[in-house]
Structure 1
Amino acid sequence: MINPRVTLDADSLGPVGQRLRKPLEDQLTSALQHATHTVEDHYTGESVPEVAQELLVETRGGLHPDIAAGFEPDGAQLTAVAAAIVEEHR
């Protein structure tokens, strides 16, 4: 089972973001982990880029619309999670 975590770069956050960093990381991590499990459960041989896109869509779907609109995960890290899902099903 894959359980990715989201961490935010404190240097890129403003004062409000820095105060909310931990709860926001927790919410983003929860949404990403739920998306990962959903995509894993429904995996039917899609490619890594397709799985990465599914992860992004599912993760955003689990967030408040305002948070989802601003959620831009690191593409390489999201691809790594997608690759782990694909590899797990080979």
Structure 2
Amino acid sequence: MVDPQVNLDPRTLTPVEEKLRGPLEDQLTSALQAAADKTEHEYAGQSAGELTTMLLERTKAALHPDIAAGFSPDPAELHRVAEAIIARAS
């Protein structure tokens, strides 16, 4: 099982987001981990690019729409999660 973590950059957060940073990171991490687990379980030879898209879509689908709208993870980090899923399947 892949175990990704979401860490928000405090320099980019609004004051309200900074106050909610811990719970927000927990919620984002939980959604990303669930997406990674599902994607890993259903992996059927897709490319890392396809998995990256799936991870983002599945993560956002698990979040409140307002949180999902503001969630823009580093594509390179999601790609690393996708590559880890592929590596584990090999």
TM-score range for the pair, normalised by the shorter chain length:
over 0.9
- 1:52-63 map, 5 Å: 52-63=52-63
Q: Write out per-residue CA displacement over residues 15-44 of structure 1, whole angstroms, 9 at most, x where no aligned residue.
A: 101100000000000000000000001000
SS of aligned partner of 2:6:
coil
Kindly provide the amino acid, as one letter, of the partner of residue 76 in structure 1.
A
Residue 30 of structure 1 corresponds to 30
Partner Cα distance (2:15, 2:68) in 1: 20
Q: How does 1:10-89 map to 2 (within 5 A)?
A: 10-89=10-89
Runs of 4+ in 1 over 2 A off after TM superposition: none
The TM-score with structure 1 as length reference comes to 0.98
Shift of 1:14: 1.2
Q: Runs of 5+ in structure 1 lacking a partner?
A: none
Q: Matches of 1:37 and 1:47 in 2, distance apart?
A: 17
